[in-house]
Chain A
């Protein structure tokens, strides 16, 4: 069975601070995909990134960066110099190769509040 755990239910930072959102996953498969989605207040989930289990390179996109550590089954997300517009709920998700389709298992989400 697959499982995604986001231990931080809520984080509050002041604008311009860096913040890291943790994600730990469980799967028996050796081939799997990890995702991060953003859900703004009153908005739909927006795809941020996908990583496959064979690619452990960290990725940076502007102020966003992702740290994939297979050894600890973690896929953490860091926002550098946070902004008020980053306030949202962020979900980590997993899809393993056992899925016949494109079904994602989501974590419980981390609510990020960035204060001015």
Chain B
């Protein structure tokens, strides 16, 4: 079974440029998460989707960050314009629908490492 796929793995841009990250979750997983992982820290939730609905985006900096999950499958996270402080790893994760037989385990992708110069 294919895992969570993210692209690009690495991205280097200059500040004020836009950037987008793409995530393809595990087939059949209703819930999709975007996490931000700064160097030497644990992941922090940015946004969670249940199917195509963003059910928790309280931690997403909405002035420059946006996300979408059209058709409830793939998702895109965009930053425009990027700032120096946005340099981090952006992790995507998915899980089966909450309340079903899922164990609470999140399945993570390898992440997209962003460097803003």
Contact = CB atoms under 8 A, between A and B. Distances in A.
Interface of A: 4, 6, 9, 33, 35, 37, 42-47, 50, 91, 93, 95, 100-104, 106-109
Does more than half of chain A's interface fall in helix, strand or loop, or is it mixed?
loop
Contacts of B103: 50
Contacts of A102: 31, 48, 95, 98, 102, 104, 106
Contact of B108 (A33, A42, A45): A45
Contacts, number: 65
A108 B41 contact: yes
Interface residues of B, number: 28
A103 B104 contact: no
A104 B33 CA distance: 10
Contacts of A9: 40
A44 B41 contact: no
Nearest to B107: A47
A109 B40 contact: yes
Contact of A45 (B31, B43, B48): B43
A52 to B, nearest CB: 9
Contacts of A35: 104-105
B74 interface: no
Nearest to A104: B106
